[in-house]
């Protein structure tokens, strides 16, 4: 059964004199607990798609359904993990991770206990009273993961969360995030430019093309790879085969990344580039 459904979703950005066709006719269906990776050339609409799913950008056509209901930002069903952790430097780690419950007025001893348990689960016991400035980049991203999970989102939207980290830390975090999300059967959508990361973490990979943004191909990651931790996936013989296929598809779509803008001339006529 589909958990998240996008049905012919399109999106145009409008400004005074032009509009950009960011997404055209995107249809997809994601099951609960699935991990999806979005890959594609710059400007193909990956972030726009994520923002539409989050309900913070309203699509211009089509339908977005979560458990068969139209998605609303007020559902608070989505959790974000971004390239930057956005921890408040003047707040302690526990204050940072409990920011969501605090805003919603639901802080209590049980939530605090859950926060402490989550910090321990991601390998950060006994740092509750530290400040973000004392933590490494990888530790800060683990705190950001705990802050997101504490709100118990239905879907995690991961927008290049490892791209600012050094390579070794990134590999370790991929393992940790993958194991943590699997243990809670969380549905996740990862935007990345890294084919290896997409194969190592995802169940399915959606490759997008630009101009306008569409899904060009869906790759299913073989079950043998999905059973492994991301670090081990990279050593599997089937990894390289899939890497080559995804690479070929991306190479094929690379030329689509120029922006497609429609300019409205003063006399009202439309001019399309691309
Ligand atoms: N707020 C906006 N106003 C106008 N155009 C926008 C806006 N945000 C994005 N766009 C345009 O929409 C298209 C899709 O952008 P988007 O950021 O979603 O792509 P992306 O695949 O996430 O790119 P990247 O990989 O470079 O982050 C691009 O042509 C971009 O210039």
Tens-place pLDDT, residues 205-254? 999 999 889 999 999 999 999 999 999 999 999 999 999 999 999 988 77
Q: Specify whether the CB–CB gap between 54 and 111 falls below 8 A.
A: no
Strand 78-82: give its sheet, edge to edge. 78-82, 155-159, 187-191, 35-39, 204-209, 214-220
**Cα-based distances in Å from 75 to 30, 139, 153:** 18, 29, 10
In a domain, 183, yes or no: no
ipTM above 0.90, yes or no: yes
User: Which residue's entry shows tokens 């400035």?
Assistant: 133
In a domain, 227, yes or no: yes
Question: Residue 203 has which token pair?
Answer: 């169940």
> Is 259 touching ligand 1 by the criterion CB < 6 Å?
yes
pTM: 0.89
User: Which residue's entry shows tokens 């269906």?
Assistant: 29
Q: How far is the CA of 213 from the centre of ligand 1 (A)?
A: 10
Pocket test for ligand 1, best of 21, 22, 163 (most atoms within 8 A of CB): 22
Which of 193, 213, 217, 187 minimizes the C-alpha distance to 205?
Answer: 217
> Is 151 touching ligand 1 by the criterion CB < 6 Å?
no
Q: How far is the CA of 43 from the centre of ligand 1 (A)?
A: 5
**Which stretch of DSSP H or E encloses residue 131?**
none
Q: How far is the CA of 180 from the centre of ligand 1 (A)?
A: 30
Phi-psi region of 160 (alpha: psi -120 to 50; beta: other; left: phi over 0): left
Give pLDDT tens digits for 84-141: 899 999 999 999 999 988 888 888 889 999 999 999 999 999 899 999 999 999 999 9
Q: How far is the CA of 223 from the centre of ligand 1 (A)?
A: 33
> Is 47 touching ligand 1 by the criterion CB < 6 Å?
yes
Q: Which residues does 9 contact at the CB level (< 8 Å), separation at least 6?
A: 23, 25, 26, 27, 49, 52, 59, 61, 62, 63, 64
DSSP state of 188: E
Q: How many domains does the chain have?
A: 1
Q: What is the pLDDT of residue 267?
A: 65
**25-34 average pLDDT score:** 96
CA distance 81 to 190: 9
Pocket test for ligand 1, best of 45, 157, 256 (most atoms within 8 A of CB): 45
DSSP state of 54: H
Residue 274, pLDDT above cutoff 50: no
> Is 24 touching ligand 1 by the criterion CB < 6 Å?
no
In a domain, 114, yes or no: no
CATH code for the domain in which residue 259 is found? 3.40.50.300
Q: How far is the CA of 22 from the centre of ligand 1 (A)?
A: 7
CA distance 43 to 37: 16
In a domain, 40, yes or no: yes
Boundaries of domain holding 231: 2-75+189-272
**Would you give the distance in Å from CA 150 to the centre of its chain?**
17
In a domain, 168, yes or no: no
For residue 23, give the ligand 1 atom closest to its CA: 14
In a domain, 200, yes or no: yes
Q: How far is the CA of 34 from the centre of ligand 1 (A)?
A: 25
Q: What percent of the chain has pLDDT over 70?
A: 92
Q: Quick check: bond before 40 cis, omega within 30?
A: no
In a domain, 194, yes or no: yes
User: Which residue's entry shows tokens 């296929």?
Assistant: 245
> Is 48 touching ligand 1 by the criterion CB < 6 Å?
yes
């Amino acid at each position: 059964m589909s958990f998240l459904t996008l049905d012919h979703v399109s999106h145009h950005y409008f400004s005074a004199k032009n509009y950009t066709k960011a997404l055209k006719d995107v249809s997809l269906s994601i099951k609960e607990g699935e991990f999806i990776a979005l890959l594609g050339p710059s400007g193909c609409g990956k972030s726009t798609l994520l923002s539409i799913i989050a309900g913070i950008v309203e699509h211009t056509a089509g339908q977005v359904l979560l458990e068969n209901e139209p998605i609303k930002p007020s559902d608070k069903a989505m959790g974000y993990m971004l390239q930057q952790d956005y921890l408040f430097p003047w707040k302690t780690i526990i204050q940072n991770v409990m920011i969501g419950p605090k805003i919603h007025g639901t802080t209590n001893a049980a939530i605090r206990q859950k926060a402490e348990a989550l910090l321990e689960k991601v390998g950060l016991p006994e740092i509750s009273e530290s400040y973000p400035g004392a933590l490494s980049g990888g530790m800060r991203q683990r705190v950001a993961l705990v802050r997101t999970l504490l709100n118990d989102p239905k879907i995690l939207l991961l927008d290049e969360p490892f791209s600012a980290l050094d390579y070794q830390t990134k590999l370790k975090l991929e393992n940790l995030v993958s194991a943590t999300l699997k243990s809670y059967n969380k549905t996740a959508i990862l935007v990345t430019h890294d084919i290896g990361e997409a194969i190592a973490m995802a169940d399915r990979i959606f490759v997008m093309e630009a101009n306008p943004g569409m899904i060009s191909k869906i790759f299913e990651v073989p079950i043998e790879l999905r059973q492994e931790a991301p670090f081990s996936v990279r050593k599997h013989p089937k990894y390289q085969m899939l890497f080559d296929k995804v690479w070929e598809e991306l190479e094929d779509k690379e030329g689509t990344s120029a922006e497609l803008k429609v300019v409205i001339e003063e006399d009202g006529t439309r001019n399309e580039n691309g």
